[in-house]
Chains A and B, each alone.
Chain A
Amino acid sequence: MSYLIDEGKNVQHLLMGNEAIVRGALEAGINVAAGYPGTPSSEIIESFSQVAKERNLYVEWSTNEKVAVEVAAAASFAGLRSMCVMKQNGVNVASDFLLHLASSGTRGGMLLVSCDDPGALSSVNEGESRLFAQLLEIPLLEPGDFQEAKDIIKWAYELSEEIRNIVMIRSVTRMSHASGNVTYGPLPSDTAARAKFNYHGPLLDPENGPVISMILAAPELQHGPQQEKMKKAAAIFETCPFNTYTGPEAPELLIITSSACSLYSREAVKILGLGKRVGILKLATTWPLPPVFLKKHLAATERILIVEEVAPTLEDHVKVLAAESVQEIGPKLFYGKKSGHLPSVGELNPDLVLAVLSRLCAVPYEAAAGVFATEAKALMEKLAPPRGMIFCPGCPHRASYWSIHNALQLDGRGGFVCGDIGCYVMGILPAGFSTVKTLHAMGSGSGIASGFGKLRQFGMDQPIVSVCGDSTFFHAAMPALANAIHHRSPFTMVILDNRGTAMTGFQPHPGSPINVLGETVPALDIEKICRAMGAKVEASDPFDLEKTREKLGHLLEYAEGAKVLILKQACALSPEKRGRKKYEVTVDETLCRGEDCGCNRLCTRIFGCPGLAWDGEKKVSHIDDIICAGCGVCVDICPAGAILKKEVA
């Protein structure tokens, strides 16, 4: 049994922020959870799935984030408590439906959990989902530690039911992927929820009518009540138990902060010994702001430092409130991103807060004894070679990009690849032979390729290739392919099918035979779909370099319409492959040409699988047995036949 559903008095566990959110939802009696994988949010749906049977939950990895919100909304309409979960970029995808949902309102408590990634530690961009709360006109809550990440969920469900609208919870990487002690509360004893959608009441009856977001030129009927809900939320926020203040009654500097930044702020104040001079107002309710509560704290000081990550949204909201109430609270001095006291990009950390506090409070601070720090740093630069990002040993993408790269080179017309989202973003790096030349959102590679394909009219004759993963195909690339086929855009879509959502940890998608609950489900066949849509389709094993290059070359030459090449090979870290080698691979040192090989050490310098390393002393390549995954691909890369493979029995 999972520790997530332990019961008993004062049970305590070390939980990840994501797990704490799950426990909170379980204590609140959640029934339905849906999401799309994305770091740092993925553990939430995974954890729900582990306890689905015991707690009578329906859990799914949806095709994309918009569908996830729709699935969770249906549960809410039928009176159940539900949650939709995604990383910040997913909120962009879901925003169209979310805007309508916020207008129609909800019934059973419904939460949108968005996990942001300040600093883009594991994202293509540094996004910001808090602005959506403002745009959607829904309340936003941000837990400040792990216990709170659990406790706030139940409170949020009650709020959602009170105002009959979806409530947004925002986490960040340093909450979601950090862990701390969490003391459990009781789980509801009754898990036999009944769902029923009532629609017989009059239109706009929030309890029994149809649920619609159609305003028909009468915004006051829906937009008006929606704004009333926000006022109600602000009033409830005045006494929110998760907004806390620590510090003197009249601090000489007031820090206003939320989420992980409150932990950095606390540590910085402690290290500098500023507890008697500086106050910390930690807000969980960051939109709408509770005005009375805030004004009380603003009135007690003259100088305010806002500590937050990514966009200065809290800063803007607090400044507006301060401007509106200047007669009541008097003029204030603000410090934060806009004043340049804190950086406007990247994630924060205790050091950045230490630096700004030391400056604003005139308390000198030095991180480490000067000589040690400078010496260690100089030696590090000299001795520690940096680690670039690479594909895993035995990754099918390395082989796929190798073939795409070579086919485009051979073709010689300056072709390029439009990239997409997954581990294969590394196609922009030397790890993927720098084949990828555009990279944006989920599914966008194929949409852009569809557009490039139509530029022949303007004399563009470069061959166009797009890549997309199997999960991405279902998520957002299918409409792009439909567009290309319909408009006869000549490009080659290479589907890198590695049997799961690899980058985030092998979550299933509509092409998988088993769902997140371990049930056997219909697996949609990508090849058949593409064929039925009308594309010219080929398939190959990317580890078969020759066949793959041949098929690619053929498709590149074929000028008509959209073409699809499906490269099927499971991810090297997939459960079916992990720790199992197909081949025992060795290098015959007598055959290895070393520096005279190809364009100089083809296998190690160019192909670059970490299982193969260059021995600078012997001047030959060798296999690192611990790292090599035994895929056997490098055997076919070596022009001298020096790399040998033997099938492992």
Chain B
Amino acid sequence: MTAIPLKKDPYSIIITGVGGQGNVLASRLLGSMLADKGFYVTIGETFGASQRGGSVMSHLRVSKEGVASPQIPRGRADVIVSLEPVEAFRVLATYGNPDAVLLTNTHPIYPVGVIRGELSYPPLDELQDVISRLLPASYFIDATEQALLLGNAILANIVMLGALGRLNIVSFDRENFHAAIGRRVAADKVAVNLQAFDVGYGMVQV
């Protein structure tokens, strides 16, 4: 594929989700694909205690010039990829702007307050309406459902990467993904990851 020029430098991508969803792997994969393409990539991650059921966020900065801040300034995310719908909204409110592109998994993971029946989780269609109104370029897919069909909910992160690849806003393709995943997972897991990537790729129309 021809390299897509950066619309901004640094170009800022957020991958978000809930602890345990494979957020960190997704950001490392995307980061190494872009580094392979010759970009400077800086990734800032929030994990650790926040892993235990909390929100997890990775900030990716892509640049031709050099290292960037591992934290994106507020309002400056160009792309938001979320493994969980409410997290997408949380990130969009802090880091979003009307030109940002948003791609989110629609499978909810309930916060404790919701599990306990003390708080309510917004209905998905309402969330979808509100997000699309704020950000015209938003895409919603049930990546977890597809991941489960492939045998493991954790693959939702890879389905999301596939969908991001289809959106053609960041420079990477299946071949880059193949190389990057090959460095990260055991050889016998590569095939199912590629499958997940392909499924995701097929889930969005542009």
Query: Which of B68, B97, B112, B153 sits near A608, CB closer than 8 Å?
Result: B112
B111 contacts A386, C-beta separation under 8 Å: yes
B96 contacts A385, C-beta separation under 8 Å: no
CB distance from A481 to the nearest CB of B (A): 27
Q: A14-B35, A181-B35 are in contact. Are A385 and B42 (CB under 8 A)?
A: no
B interface residues, Cβ below 8 angstroms from A: 18, 20, 28, 31-32, 35, 40-50, 52-55, 67-76, 86, 89-90, 92-94, 96-98, 109-122, 126-127, 130, 134, 144, 148, 152-153, 183
Interface string of A418-440 (1 = CB under 8 A from B): 00000100100011000000000
Residues in B with CB closer than 8 Å to A431 are 112
Query: Which of B41, B75, B183 sits near A373, CB closer than 8 Å?
Result: B75
**Smallest Cβ-Cβ distance to A174: which chain B residue:** B70
A436 to B196: give the CA distance in the assembly, Å: 44
Interface string of A136-176 (1 = CB under 8 A from B): 00000000011100000000000000000000000001110
Query: Which of A122, A147, A386, A616 sits near B113, CB closer than 8 Å?
Result: A386
A271 contacts B90, C-beta separation under 8 Å: no
CB distance from B75 to the nearest CB of A (A): 3
23 A-B contact pairs sorted by A residue (CB < 8 Å) = A14-B35, A122-B47, A146-B42, A178-B44, A180-B43, A181-B40, A181-B67, A350-B71, A367-B75, A368-B75, A368-B97, A372-B96, A373-B75, A380-B90, A389-B49, A389-B50, A389-B52, A391-B53, A430-B112, A503-B49, A605-B117, A613-B115, A614-B114
Query: Which of B40, B70, B144 sits near A626, CB closer than 8 Å?
Result: B144
A369 contacts B97, C-beta separation under 8 Å: yes
**Smallest Cβ-Cβ distance to A377: which chain B residue:** B93
Whether, in the assembled complex, A349 has its beta carbon less than 8 Å from a beta carbon of chain B, the answer is yes
Given contacts A350-B71, A604-B116, A614-B115, 14 further A-B contacts (CB under 8 A): A179-B28, A179-B41, A267-B73, A351-B73, A367-B76, A372-B96, A372-B97, A372-B134, A377-B93, A384-B86, A392-B20, A423-B52, A604-B115, A610-B53
Stretch of A258-266, A307-315, A530-538 on the interface side: A258-266
Interface string of A382-399 (1 = CB under 8 A from B): 011111111110000000
Whether, in the assembled complex, A49 has its beta carbon less than 8 Å from a beta carbon of chain B, the answer is no
CB distance from B78 to the nearest CB of A (A): 13
A121 to B32: give the CA distance in the assembly, Å: 25
A602 to B150: give the CA distance in the assembly, Å: 35
Residues in A with CB closer than 8 Å to B54 are 387-389
A467 to B127: give the CA distance in the assembly, Å: 42
**Smallest Cβ-Cβ distance to B130: which chain A residue:** A379
A627 to B111: give the CA distance in the assembly, Å: 12
A553 to B183: give the CA distance in the assembly, Å: 52
Residues in A with CB closer than 8 Å to B183 are 3
Whether, in the assembled complex, A198 has its beta carbon less than 8 Å from a beta carbon of chain B, the answer is no
Whether, in the assembled complex, A12 has its beta carbon less than 8 Å from a beta carbon of chain B, the answer is yes
A121 contacts B50, C-beta separation under 8 Å: yes
A216 to B135: give the CA distance in the assembly, Å: 72
B89 contacts A388, C-beta separation under 8 Å: no
CB distance from A454 to the nearest CB of B (A): 33
Contact residues, A588-614 vs B (CB, 8 A): 601, 604-605, 608, 610, 612-614
A387 contacts B130, C-beta separation under 8 Å: no
B112 contacts A390, C-beta separation under 8 Å: yes
Whether, in the assembled complex, A177 has its beta carbon less than 8 Å from a beta carbon of chain B, the answer is yes
Q: A368-B97, A389-B49 are in contact. Are A264 and B116 (CB under 8 A)?
A: no
Residue of A375, A387, A430 with most chain B CB atoms under a 10 A cut-off: A387
Residues in B with CB closer than 8 Å to A13 are 35
**Smallest Cβ-Cβ distance to B98: which chain A residue:** A372
Whether, in the assembled complex, A511 has its beta carbon less than 8 Å from a beta carbon of chain B, the answer is no
Q: A14-B31, A14-B35, A372-B97 are in contact. Are A613 and B114 (CB under 8 A)?
A: yes
B53 contacts A387, C-beta separation under 8 Å: yes
CB distance from B44 to the nearest CB of A (A): 5
**Smallest Cβ-Cβ distance to B47: which chain A residue:** A177
Query: Which of B46, B111, B121 sits near A388, CB closer than 8 Å?
Result: B111
Q: A121-B48, A267-B73, A372-B97 are in contact. Are A385 and B120 (CB under 8 A)?
A: yes
Residues in A with CB closer than 8 Å to B86 are 383-385
Residues in A with CB closer than 8 Å to B153 are 626
Query: Which of A121, A601, A610 sits near B110, CB closer than 8 Å?
Result: A610
A582 to B135: give the CA distance in the assembly, Å: 44
Q: A3-B183, A350-B73, A431-B112 are in contact. Are A40 and B41 (CB under 8 A)?
A: no
A267 contacts B18, C-beta separation under 8 Å: no
A270 to B6: give the CA distance in the assembly, Å: 17
Whether, in the assembled complex, A354 has its beta carbon less than 8 Å from a beta carbon of chain B, the answer is yes
B89 contacts A380, C-beta separation under 8 Å: yes
A181 contacts B18, C-beta separation under 8 Å: no
Residues in A with CB closer than 8 Å to B41 are 14, 179-181
B98 contacts A122, C-beta separation under 8 Å: no
A271 contacts B73, C-beta separation under 8 Å: yes
Query: Which of B28, B49, B68, B96 sits near A267, CB closer than 8 Å?
Result: B68
Interface string of A180-217 (1 = CB under 8 A from B): 11000000000000000000000000000000000000
Interface string of A422-462 (1 = CB under 8 A from B): 01001000110000000000000000000000000000000
Whether, in the assembled complex, A320 has its beta carbon less than 8 Å from a beta carbon of chain B, the answer is no
**Smallest Cβ-Cβ distance to A390: which chain B residue:** B53
A379 to B134: give the CA distance in the assembly, Å: 10
B44 contacts A368, C-beta separation under 8 Å: no
A605 contacts B118, C-beta separation under 8 Å: yes
B18 contacts A387, C-beta separation under 8 Å: yes
Q: A367-B74, A369-B97 are in contact. Are A179 and B42 (CB under 8 A)?
A: yes
Whether, in the assembled complex, A39 has its beta carbon less than 8 Å from a beta carbon of chain B, the answer is yes
B71 contacts A264, C-beta separation under 8 Å: yes
Whether, in the assembled complex, A529 has its beta carbon less than 8 Å from a beta carbon of chain B, the answer is no
A385 to B105: give the CA distance in the assembly, Å: 17
A3 to B113: give the CA distance in the assembly, Å: 42
CB distance from A77 to the nearest CB of B (A): 34
Q: A14-B28, A372-B98 are in contact. Are A180 and B67 (CB under 8 A)?
A: yes
Whether, in the assembled complex, A640 has its beta carbon less than 8 Å from a beta carbon of chain B, the answer is no
Residue of A266, A390, A431 with most chain B CB atoms under a 10 A cut-off: A390
